[in-house]
Amino acid sequence: MSNKIYAPKGTNDILPENIPLWEKIENAAKDIAGRYGFKQIRTPEFESTNLFERGVGDTTDIVQKEMYTFTHRGKESLTLKPEGTAPVVRSFIENGMSSAAQPVKLFYLTNCFRCENPQKGRYRQFHQFGIEVFGAEDASSDAEVISVAYEFLKELGIKDVVAKVNSVGCPTCRKNYYEKLKAFISPKLDKLCDDCKNRFEKNPMRLIDCKVETCKEHIQGAPLMIDNLCTDCKDHFEKVKEYLDAMEVEYEVDPTIVRGLDYYTNTAFEFIPKDNTKSQAAIGAGGRYNGLVETLGGPKTAGIGLAMGIERILIQLEEQGITFPLENVTDLYIAPMGEAAKTTALKYATIMRREGFIVQTDVMNRSLKAQMKYADKINAKYVAMIGDEELEKGVLLVRDMQTKEQTEVAFGDLPGFLRK
């Protein structure tokens, strides 16, 4: 019987050889967010369970089925962060950001946790890039948020992804719509899944989004929110489309996009691969949530945001054959020959690191031949060899690992030589 301990189901190690790709994506996210004027925020990995029950909505799959919740010392109920928006809203309220210059534009790169059945593109621990805008009600803010995701994917070279947009209305027009929708669904309710039955009273629009095939059949032909918008919501959505056109963002109107969170109002959107047969569909999604800040105890504040799954972006990069050139990971390998040389190697490795170079030296007591093989494996640009003869002359024998050309370089001249 094996005594190995494995990573928990639905989690993955990000190994050193994969880190440069993750950093490429994260740096691209930071760069695009910065160009739009967003500032980074970091929220705790766990929050009060009540935050997600009130903020995400108690009719959602996240709250009903997917949260990792635990009790702290038998008293306080805490939950690992299942999504990024509610914690940022909590921080916005708690830290008095409503008194800051509006709009407040925040972005995050964070871990999230959901107790789901693991599959490709869906994990129990996953990573998100998200943005949130507070204080801007205008449709131009909706278009700008959608454009961040569009430009981010474009920056990474990801193609054949479409932004699907919809309007889920406001409480006023939604009330009338719910009456129509319930009247349509009511005769068929007993044939729908348990989730649909539970959502029927409180959030019937979620039934439009049900993935159960039998439910899809029975709900086909149901009235759609986009056909029942009030004048203000309709005007808002028309402006969103106008601004997206002006920003040259490709999109499609999809009346079935309702999103799985209770807090959305007006604009809702998803970024979906045109060929979504290979992986989980949505790469990113978001929408407007004008009532969420108030729901969580803050002042009346407009809000809109998006979140994008890093793992799903990685899947798209792989499926589309997109790779990025990786930089040399080692500027210099110092190869000592003998004990005296090792002391000098450690000394100059330290000096060169302080000069800003990425430097390694032998700590395995390898032969010169073995050290040269190792330097090649770590993709070292140069190898500086030191033996008794070099110590006596006060030089290093530096080999360019690409051209194989060797040059004697005085100890003090090494930084200048590498910077040439």
Residue 1 lies in a domain: no
Mean pLDDT, rounded, for 156-162: 93
Q: How many domains is the chain built from? A: 2
Answer yes or no: do 305 and 334 share one domain: no
pLDDT in tens, 271-289: 999 876 544 578 999 999 9
- Which pLDDT value is given to residue 47? 96
Q: What is the DSSP letter of 122?
A: B
Answer yes or no: do 389 and 260 share one domain: no
Answer yes or no: do 355 and 255 share one domain: no
Check pLDDT > 70 for residue 206: yes
Q: Which of 319, 351, 382 is the last residue of a domain?
A: 319
Q: What is the DSSP letter of 205?
A: G
pLDDT in tens, 317-357: 999 999 988 776 799 999 999 999 999 999 999 999 999 99
Report the CATH number that the domain containing residue 349 is assigned in CATH: 3.40.50.800
Strand partners, 308: 129, 284
d(CA 114, CA 46) in angstroms, rounded, equals 12
Q: Which domain holds residue 40?
A: 16-170+230-319
Cα angle for residues 68, 73, 76 (degrees, 5° grid): 60
- Which pLDDT value is given to residue 281? 77
Check pLDDT > 70 for residue 385: yes
Confidence band for 1, pLDDT divided at 50, 70 and 90:
low
- Which pLDDT value is given to residue 279? 46
Residue 190 lies in a domain: no
Answer yes or no: do 358 and 256 share one domain: no
Check pLDDT > 60 for residue 316: yes
Strand partners, 253: 165
d(CA 129, CA 31) in angstroms, rounded, equals 12
Give the phi and the psi of residue 23 in degrees, each rounded to 5: -65, -35
Give me the count of residues in the chain.
420
Calculate what percentage of the chain has a pLDDT beyond 70: 97
Check pLDDT > 50 for residue 313: yes
Check pLDDT > 90 for residue 252: yes
Answer yes or no: do 305 and 383 share one domain: no
Mean pLDDT, rounded, for 293-300: 95
pLDDT in tens, 191-201: 888 888 888 88
Cβ neighbours for 229, distance < 8 A, ≥ 6 positions apart: 167, 169, 173, 237
Q: Which of 319, 348, 365 is the last residue of a domain?
A: 319
Answer yes or no: do 239 and 372 share one domain: no
d(CA 132, CA 111) in angstroms, rounded, equals 16
As a whole number, the mean pLDDT across the chain is 92
Q: Which of 280 and 25 is assigned the larger pLDDT? A: 25
